[in-house]
């Protein structure tokens, strides 16, 4: 499956409700749900990114809890398996460095967001690029009220927002990731 | 959008880890995430089904909290809007009765599950049936270790499981619903 596709959930820099740039809190459900989606579609790595040390420790403690041999790892081996895809990093730069180290090339950055407009790439086109295998791609997922504008501006691609039936598109990040990954990877 | 498509999250009858039939606990995140997905794709109604009175009260209290004019409704109007799709019922029979009352016909029941096998309908075929508009469809979503066999056996259709890249398909119900709804409704 696409070993050139990676995803990162960015807790910084993110907007809060008032449009200020903040570090959002890591939600336990985001760790589990997105790891299960990533594992199901055999995404290479799922990075959780936060500059706050105590938040990284929080994620690491959950991963340890579910590790094979950990407290919960023997209770639900499938969950344990999913969480193997999760890696904790302190910045987007660290994620990019990890991909460069593991894959020997720079990842192309793919911004996502419910409000992206302008020069967008469709899921179908992105899917084809990933399938060609000539580049590594890192899909960036926002939290809070979306990722900061400078991250979007620095990305190589901006993915078309997931639209449903009308104007309303306030999906949870857990649902949005599932739909994006399915559109990019289903049937490969 | 498809006013003939409805979804129900069944907390009973469900299997637990040991294969016993139980009523599972309602998870707050299931209320929110699936309501947001339902609202985005303009699903007619999202039913949360549990025979346990205190669990129904729990859901109703969350809905009241987010109602326009409620404590949180003014904080996040988009969330308030999503939760308008949620209806609480005590049994699948009550859900079927509600659809019969509102729509004047029996809904066809569509079972889902990660382990369904045998005589399955593809998402593409299901999508076409919904689009024809000749029937109402109620997509049944399991909790715990899946919905009880007699519910699956009584359904009119069994939807093909969402498969990712390999054998592993332990998606969260929140992610699975998002993918199913996208496959059934995207681009309508």
- Interface predicted TM-score (ipTM) of this complex, two decimals: 0.95
pLDDT tens, A38-63? 999 999 999 999 999 999 999 999 99
Q: Where is average pLDDT lowest: A92-106, B36-50, B162-176?
A: B162-176
Residue B7: list chain A partners with CB under 8 A.
none
CA distance B75 to A14: 19
Residue of B76, B170, B182 lying closest to A182 (CB–CB): B182
Q: Indicate yes or no: CB of B176 within 8 angstroms of CB of A178.
A: yes
Q: At what angle do helices A28-40 and A173-185 cross, to 10 degrees?
A: 10
* Selection from B131, B96, B122 nearest residue B1 by Cα: B131
- Backbone phi, then psi, for A166, in 5-degree steps? -140, -140
Q: Indicate yes or no: CB of B178 within 8 angstroms of CB of A175.
A: yes
Q: Give the mean model confidence (pLDDT) for residues B144-151.
A: 96
Assess whether pLDDT exceeds 90 at residue B188: no
Distance set, CA A129 to CA A120, A121, A135 (Å): 14, 11, 8
Q: Is A7 helix (H, G, I), strand (E, B) or coil?
A: strand
* β-sheet bridge partners, residue B86: B46
pLDDT at A188: 60
- Contacts for B175 with CB less than 8 Å, ≥ 6 apart: A33, A36, A37, A174, A175, A177, A178
pLDDT tens, A120-131? 999 999 999 999
pLDDT at B70: 76
Assess whether pLDDT exceeds 80 at residue B2: no
pLDDT tens, A158-176? 999 998 888 898 999 999 9
pLDDT tens, B39-97? 999 999 999 999 999 999 999 999 999 988 877 877 888 889 999 999 999 999 999 99
pLDDT tens, A6-21? 999 999 999 999 999 9
pLDDT at B1: 54
Taking only residues 85 to 144 of chain A, the set having a beta carbon closer than 8 angstroms to any beta carbon of chain B reads none
Residue of A32, A170, A178 lying closest to B179 (CB–CB): A178
CA distance A21 to B179: 31
- Backbone phi, then psi, for B107, in 5-degree steps? -80, 140
pLDDT at B155: 98
Verdict on whether the full-model pTM lies above 0.90: yes
Q: Give the mean model confidence (pLDDT) for residues A89-116.
A: 97
Q: At what angle do helices B173-185 and A173-185 cross, to 10 degrees?
A: 60
Residue of A36, A168, A185 lying closest to B81 (CB–CB): A168
Q: Which of A179, A180, A188 to mutate to test the interface with B (most CBs of B within 10 A)?
A: A179
Residue B2: list chain A partners with CB under 8 A.
165
């Amino acid at each position: 499956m696409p070993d050139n596709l990676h995803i990162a959930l960015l807790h910084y820099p993110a907007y809060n409700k008032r449009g200020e740039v903040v570090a959002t809190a890591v939600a336990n459900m985001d760790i589990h749900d997105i790891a299960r989606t990533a594992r199901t579609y055999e995404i290479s790595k799922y990075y959780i990114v936060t500059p706050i040390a105590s938040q990284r420790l929080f994620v690491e403690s959950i991963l340890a809890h579910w590790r094979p041999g950990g407290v919960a790892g023997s209770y639900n081996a499938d969950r344990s398996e999913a969480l193997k895809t999760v890696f904790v990093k302190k910045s987007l730069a660290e994620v990019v460095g990890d991909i460069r180290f593991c894959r020997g090339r720079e990842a192309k950055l793919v911004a996502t967001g419910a409000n992206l407009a302008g020069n967008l790439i469709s899921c179908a086109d992105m899917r084809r690029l990933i399938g060609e295998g000539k580049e590594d791609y890192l899909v960036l997922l926002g939290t809070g009220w979306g990722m900061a504008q400078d991250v979007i501006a620095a990305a190589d691609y901006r993915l078309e927002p997931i639209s449903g039936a009308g104007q309303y598109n306030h999906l949870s990040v857990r649902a949005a990731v599932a739909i994006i990954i399915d559109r990019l990877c289903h049937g490969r």
